[in-house]
Chains A and B, each alone.
Chain A
Amino acid sequence: MFEFLQTPVGPLPLADWISWICIVIGAFFAIVGAVGIVRFPDVFSRMHGAGMVDTMGINMILVGLMFQADEWIVIVKLGLILLFIFFTSPTTTFALARAAIHGGVNPGPKADEPHKTAKQETTSSNT
Chain B
Amino acid sequence: MTMFAVAAIAVLVSMALSMVRAFIGPTVFDRILAVNVSGTLTVVLISVYGFLDGRPDFLDIALLYGLINFIATIAVSKYMKFRDLGHPIDGPDEGDV
Question: In this complex, what residue of A is CB-closest to B30?
Answer: A43
Q: Is the CB of A80 within 8 A of B63?
A: yes
Question: Quick one: given A81-B66, A103-B80, are A37 and B97 in contact (CB under 8 Å)?
Answer: no
Q: Is the CB of A96 within 8 A of B32?
A: yes
- Chain B interface residue count, CB cutoff 8 Å, equals 46
Question: Quick one: given A27-B7, A34-B37, A100-B29, are A95 and B59 in contact (CB under 8 Å)?
Answer: no
Which of the 9-residue segments A3-11, A57-65, A110-118, A119-127 touches chain B?
A57-65
Q: Is the CB of B73 within 8 A of A77?
A: no
Q: Which residues of B contact A (CB under 8 A)?
A: 3-4, 6-7, 9-11, 13-15, 17-18, 20-21, 24, 27-30, 32-34, 36-37, 40-41, 43-44, 47-48, 51, 56, 59-60, 62-63, 66-67, 70, 73-74, 77-78, 80-81, 97
Q: Which residues of A contact B (CB under 8 A)?
A: 16, 19-20, 23-24, 26-28, 30-31, 33-35, 37-38, 43, 46-47, 50, 53-54, 57-58, 61-62, 64-65, 68-71, 73-74, 77-78, 80-81, 84-85, 88-89, 91-93, 95-96, 98-100, 102-103, 105
